[in-house]
Amino acid sequence: MPHGRVKAAFSRGTAPGPAPGARILVVGGGYVGMYTALRLQRNLKGELARGAAEIVVVTPDPYMTYQPFLPEAAAGSISPRHVVVPLRRVLDKCRVLIGEAESIDHAKRTAVLTTLATEEEGTGSLELPYDELVMAPGSVSRTLPVPGLAEHGIGFKTVEEAIGLRNHVIEQMDIASSTRDPAVRDAALTFVFVGGGYAGVEALAELQDMAHYATRYYHNLAPADMKWLLVEATGRILPEVGEDLGRYTVSELRRRNIDVRLETRLDSCADRVARLSDGAHFPTRTLVWTAGVKPHPVLAASDLPLTDRGRLKCTTHLSVDGARHAWGAGDAASVPDVTAAEEGAVCAPNAQHAVRQAKLLGDNLAASLRGEPLTGYAHKYAGSVASLGLHKGVAHVYGRKLKGYPAWFMHRAYHLSRVPTFNRKARVLAEWTLSGLFKREIVSLGSLEHPRAEFAMAAGGEHHRSGGTDGKNGRPGAGGKNGRPGAGGRGDTDNSGGGSGGGGGDEGRKRGDGTDDGVGNSP
């Protein structure tokens, strides 16, 4: 529909014509996608009611994952269903399509989509015309050509990966407690994490905490039997909290007998042996890759202007520079940071910026349709918080540095206030309260990943057991769903060999360390 008709449809007192009103296509259902659509359905309430506007959200999952809670979900402190927000419930005035945007032809205002329906029908893809485009696809894991990584690596970017990793760790403890082979036992009890950003550090700290607690229920396992390694390509971890707290975090992890190796790369994990650049090698059945993220491939499959790092070139109004009626924010966008002292600085790809940008984007898009002036984005980074396990953490907020219990409490309080919907806030608070009264849950529900396995065996099929990090039933452990990358990190860093995931988060760390989907943990 020509944009002139879009403005006409939004003129006050103008009844919508027989043709549909302005269609706003939101690509992505993460932080930016959900918050933008939520803001739009509030700002355009009248237009939506009378058919002058339509909001379509295309997302791979029917929910938004609050990624800062993934480590606690993996450790059993929070139920997995409480770290996700159902999009259809929140975006009740929007049309939600479960699928992927394969390409964007903005010159023609069309998007090529693959949905669950098109896959089931075998029709391939469909073309969806639009009037306004919001690009919020987030990011995907940035992997490197490390031998064995695709076969044995495990990501930590989705709730499925977090729970799968939890089940896997407990399963390795079961293997170690029952095997008679010392080599198998040693490999099962060796856990290697690559990437010293939020995702890697918090996942490692929470799971190590959980596993050490669980050893009391194994008659032949002790905490000292386990090897936990953190491999970071740069000389520091958690750069968002500052050098002092970064050094404190290293000393705290080492105090817990976690082997932290800085300025070290993973050279290979072929044959289930982690070989490091310093010459060390460790047989292991658990290799978690959290070494950063990169822009979603759909950006490259569009005719929109991109930076040399593959992100959208955006203005302070969050419109795509040089492309009318296109908008972007979060991990996918390079937005000028007008509060920074350096000229040409851009906003870090983290949740702190993503959520605020999404809300402003929703306001500006609605204002644009109505012919009203736009507002520029400006937000000074407030700081970061990180959990290092139960009652342990670090925080650097508004210049103040906290460590230990106060930082851990601030981490929980901050993210409880930021998790979307009152329903989720109440449920998370209830679970934290109950976990303080009762013992930690250490059950593994790995069978949930293959609900048909028992029935298939009963019906005459082959019954498969765990395949370790290679996955079960022949599925790769590092793989995502629907063809999406599974290995996740957090951060848009380019440190070869697994740099820190970057981005401090905030408003929800979008796990990917430093990006929309890579959020850190900051206010």
**pLDDT tens profile 167-214:** 999 999 999 999 999 999 999 999 999 999 989 999 999 999 999 999
Q: Check residue 490 and give its pLDDT.
A: 36
> Is it the case that residue 414 has pLDDT exceeding 70?
yes
Q: What is the enclosing helix (H) or strand (E) of 117?
A: helix 116-121
> Is it the case that residue 390 has pLDDT exceeding 80?
yes
Q: Check residue 446 and give its pLDDT.
A: 61
Q: How confident is the model at residue 119 (pLDDT cuts 50, 70, 90)?
A: confident
Gyration radius from the chain CA atoms: 23
Among candidate residues 421, 354, 365, the one with its CA nearest the CA of residue 137: 354
Among candidate residues 390, 417, 418, the one with its CA nearest the CA of residue 404: 390
> Is it the case that residue 508 has pLDDT exceeding 50?
no
Sign of CA dihedral 421, 423, 428, 430: positive
H helical segments located in 153-261: 159-178, 182-188, 198-214, 243-255
Q: Check residue 269 and give its pLDDT.
A: 95
> Is it the case that residue 509 has pLDDT exceeding 60?
no
Q: Name which residue leads in pLDDT, 476 or 417.
A: 417
What letter does residue 514 receive in the DSSP assignment? T
Q: Name which residue leads in pLDDT, 296 or 518.
A: 296
Answer for the pair 288, 266: CB distance below 8 angstroms, yes or no: no
> Is it the case that residue 122 has pLDDT exceeding 90?
no
> Is it the case that residue 13 has pLDDT exceeding 80?
no
What mean pLDDT comes out for the span 21-30? Answer: 94
Helix axes 3-10, 351-369, angle to 10 degrees: 80
> Is it the case that residue 264 has pLDDT exceeding 90?
yes
Query: Can you read off the two tokens belonging to residue 9?
Result: 């449809």
Which residue segments constitute the domains of the chain, with CATH numbers given? 3-139+294-369 (3.50.50.60), 149-293+384-458 (3.50.50.100)
The number of CA neighbours under 13 Å toward the Cβ of 219 is 1
Q: How confident is the model at residue 463 (pLDDT cuts 50, 70, 90)?
A: low
What are the E-state strand segments in 10-169? 22-27, 53-59, 63-65, 84-86, 95-105, 110-115, 126-129, 132-135, 139-141, 153-154
Residues 175, 180: Cα–Cα separation, whole Å: 10
Strand order in the sheet with 95-105: 126-129, 110-115, 95-105, 53-59, 22-27, 132-135, 326-328
Q: Coil, helix or strand for 27? A: strand
What mean pLDDT comes out for the span 444-452? Answer: 65
Residues 40, 366: Cα–Cα separation, whole Å: 7
Q: How confident is the model at residue 474 (pLDDT cuts 50, 70, 90)?
A: very low
Residues 29, 39: Cα–Cα separation, whole Å: 13
Q: Name which residue leads in pLDDT, 214 or 9.
A: 214
Q: Coil, helix or strand for 56? A: strand
> Is it the case that residue 520 has pLDDT exceeding 70?
no
The tens digit of pLDDT for each residue in 318-350 reads 999 999 999 999 999 999 999 887 888 898 888
H helical segments located in 232-289: 243-255
The tens digit of pLDDT for each residue in 270-304 reads 999 999 999 999 999 999 999 888 899 999 999 99
> Is it the case that residue 257 has pLDDT exceeding 70?
yes
Amino acid found at 240: E
Q: Mean pLDDT in the chain?
A: 84
The predicted model scores a pTM of 0.81
What mean pLDDT comes out for the span 75-89? Answer: 91
For Cα atoms 455, 460, 466, give the angle at the middle one, nearest 5 degrees. Answer: 60
Q: Check residue 444 and give its pLDDT.
A: 67
Length of the chain: 523
Query: Can you read off the two tokens belonging to residue 52?
Result: 């002058």
Among candidate residues 127, 108, 128, 100, the one with its CA nearest the CA of residue 24: 128
Share of the chain above pLDDT 70, in %: 82
For Cα atoms 517, 134, 87, give the angle at the middle one, nearest 5 degrees. Answer: 60
